[in-house]
């Protein structure tokens, strides 16, 4: 008999899958050229203030909340027993999407049941960090 899923389960999985995209987006936002243009060519009428603009750019609040929830779950998972194995399962199944849970279990190596446990615990950890209350079940 299968375990009943929470209503938010698929949403949190989508948040986790989107994490690499958010990391890339955050990296693009934070990186900017701060060197002066030395070409000698005339500039447009608008004065560019790239450094100040870069400081003001950020992820929208929903994306920031999702990013922080996954980042915190990663940090917490790294401190657990077999933390790197747990994250490798998540990387293969949710981020790279190259393996099923069975295939990821063979790569780690661990049992398929253990890979499912790692997968489920990580999803629940992200959900807790996102703000879902999991105390009752």
Give the pTM.
0.79
Burial class (CB in 10 A: 0-12, 13-18, 19+), 133: exposed
Q: What is the pLDDT of residues 2-27, one digit of tens each?
A: 666 788 999 999 999 999 999 999 88
Task: Please provide residue 103's backbone torsions phi and psi, each rounded to the nearest 5 degrees.
Answer: -65, -40
Percent of the chain with pLDDT over 90: 65
**Model confidence over 104-134: pLDDT tens digits?**
999 999 999 999 999 999 999 999 999 997 7
- Three-state DSSP state, 5: coil
Determine how many CB atoms are found less than 10 A away from the CB of residue 11.
Answer: 14
Tokens coding 126: 């992200």
């Amino acid at each position: 008999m299968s375990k009943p899923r929470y209503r938010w389960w698929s949403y949190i999985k989508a948040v986790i899958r989107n994490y690499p995209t958010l990391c890339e987006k955050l990296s693009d936002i934070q990186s900017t050229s701060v060197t002066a243009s030395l070409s000698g060519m005339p500039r447009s009428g608008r004065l560019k203030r790239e450094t100040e603009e870069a400081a003001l750019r950020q992820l929208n609040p929903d994306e920031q909340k999702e990013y922080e929830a996954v980042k915190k779950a990663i940090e917490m998972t790294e401190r657990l027993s077999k933390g790197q194995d747990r994250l490798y399962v998540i990387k293969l199944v949710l981020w790279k999407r190259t393996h099923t849970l069975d295939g990821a279990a063979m790569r780690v190596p661990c049992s398929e049941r253990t890979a499912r446990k790692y997968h489920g615990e990580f999803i629940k950890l992200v959900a807790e960090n996102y703000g879902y209350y999991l105390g009752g079940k």
